A = this chain, B = another copy of it.
């Protein structure tokens, strides 16, 4: 009969030093990605966090894993926000307001629109689930607006996701056009409305 372990160990409770390293990595990653975008050097992140390069890779095997850790909460918030809007606003306002907020969030980091868009091609990406939740949240608002005849029936959740990311990308690559952002947003959204 096996001995009880002298100190009870919950496998889900990581060692204290591991947890501390993870936190440091995340803090520095948040700072560096905010500064330099999603393509920031992982070496730099490890350096600034004061951990070995291997430690970073152990905690976050891919760049997407790291980004997911940075963005997860934001995704959750945005998904919940869709349901709030659906419950409190008319269908069209709910859709447009949510899409606008999504567009802002997708531009939170330089390079993020490209990262999110590329996720569509890679279901194994750590960001895939988050993007899917965004597409589903947007899809629910879209369906409601379509049910009311406010949005063309041939617009899919994927169309919406792609175009919202594309709008974020415009100001991502050409910050000069930030002043044009709201206008471009309205222009694209008008294309979703049925021709009378």
Binding site for B on A (CB under 8 A): 114, 117-118, 120-121, 152, 154-156, 158-159, 162-163, 165-167, 169-170, 173-177, 180, 183-184, 187-192, 195-196
Contacts and interface: CB of A to CB of B under 8 A. Distances in A.
A169 B174 CA distance: 14
A120 B184 contact: no
Contacts of A117: 169-170, 173-174
B177 A163 contact: no
Nearest to A177: B162
Q: For A117, A118, A173, which residue has the most chain B Cβ atoms within 10 angstroms?
A: A173
A-side interface mostly: helix
A190 B152 CA distance: 11
Nearest to A120: B174
B163 A188 contact: yes
A162 to B, nearest CB: 5
A85 to B, nearest CB: 22
B159 A114 contact: no
Given A169-B169, A170-B117, A163 B176 contact: no
Contact of A195 (B158, B176, B190): B190
Contacts of A173: 114, 117-118, 120-121
